[in-house]
Amino acid sequence: MDPAQLAALLALAAVAAYVQTLTGFAFGLMMMGGVGLTGIIPLAEAAVLVSILVVVNAAQVLARGWRDIAGREFALVMVSSLVFLLIGYWLLGILLKGSLDWLKLVLGTVIIVSSIQLLFKPEPLERRSGNGSFLFFGAIAGLMGGLFSTAGPPLVYHLYRQPMRAAAVRETLVAVFALNAFLRLGTVALAGQMPDRHFLWSLATIPVVIAFTQLARRYPPGISPLNMRRLAFVLLFLSGASLAIPALLKLIGDFS
């Protein structure tokens, strides 16, 4: 990785961490979308990097907040999430062996759908959803986590609709994402597919993410949370479309 690529990766991590802190999610989506557009590092390596950064962030958060984890909901989500994480990682291997355009199309579509979700505020339910719903959304989170290490959006929306304390929702999500990321890293290592030593330069993003997370907390921008969500939507939607549309057009051309 040359200095220009490293600088671009650090800038991308800084923006993603800042937006993540202000919106509640989007870090993995922005990192994967930015890497997909720029080609700074391979997408498979980007997913490994996102997993590492998620674990680092979770260690900071859960050091104090682990007592707020909703144990029952956490267990239900993880039961299905872990199974589908392996399925998602298996699907990633198939996509990597095939056309890179298929991989970009799937990633772009995931980012577009997730960005649209940012526009809708979850309406709280009067009663807790059934256990099956947690298993279902856990499965989606695991599948997305296995593919691109971006397990968040559908599960975030579902948990924030539950009649739970905000702290319990937040810490439960952090714990789910952290365990998914940790197990994904273990799966990559067991498969012998960890990146080579050149990837170590990417770990320079760790202090950048920590610094810009603190910066966003102490000095938030002078715009409303709603407008911040709208800005995040625009950034994510454009990056997703920029990935998916060219890939789709190329695939259509290949079939015709």
* CB-CB contact of 123 with 68 (8 Å): no
H-type helices in the chain, by residue range? 3-23, 27-38, 43-65, 71-97, 100-117, 131-148, 153-160, 166-190, 205-218, 225-255
In angstroms, the Cα distances linking 77 to 119, 129, 166, 170, 176 are: 24, 13, 18, 14, 8
Residues 129-159 pLDDT 10s: 999 999 999 999 899 888 888 877 788 888 8
Q: Which of 3, 16, 28 is nearest to 215 (CA)?
A: 16
Can you tell me the distance from the alpha carbon of 206 to that of 12, in angstroms, rounded to the nearest whole number?
12
Per-residue burial over 61-80, b = 16 or more CB atoms within 10 Å of its CB, e = otherwise = bbeebeebbbeebbebbbeb
Q: Give the model's pLDDT for residue 11.
A: 93
Q: Give the model's pLDDT for residue 170.
A: 80
Q: Would you call 206 helix, strand, or coil by DSSP?
A: helix
pLDDT tens sequence for the chain (256 residues):
788 889 999 999 998 888 877 766 677 888 888 888 888 888 888 889 988 988 887 887 787 778 889 889 999 999 999 999 999 999 888 888 877 888 888 888 888 888 887 777 767 788 889 999 999 999 998 998 888 888 777 888 888 888 888 788 888 888 898 899 899 999 999 988 888 877 888 889 999 988 988 888 788 888 877 787 778 788 888 888 888 898 888 888 877 6
Q: Give the model's pLDDT for residue 122.
A: 67
Q: Give the model's pLDDT for residue 200.
A: 84
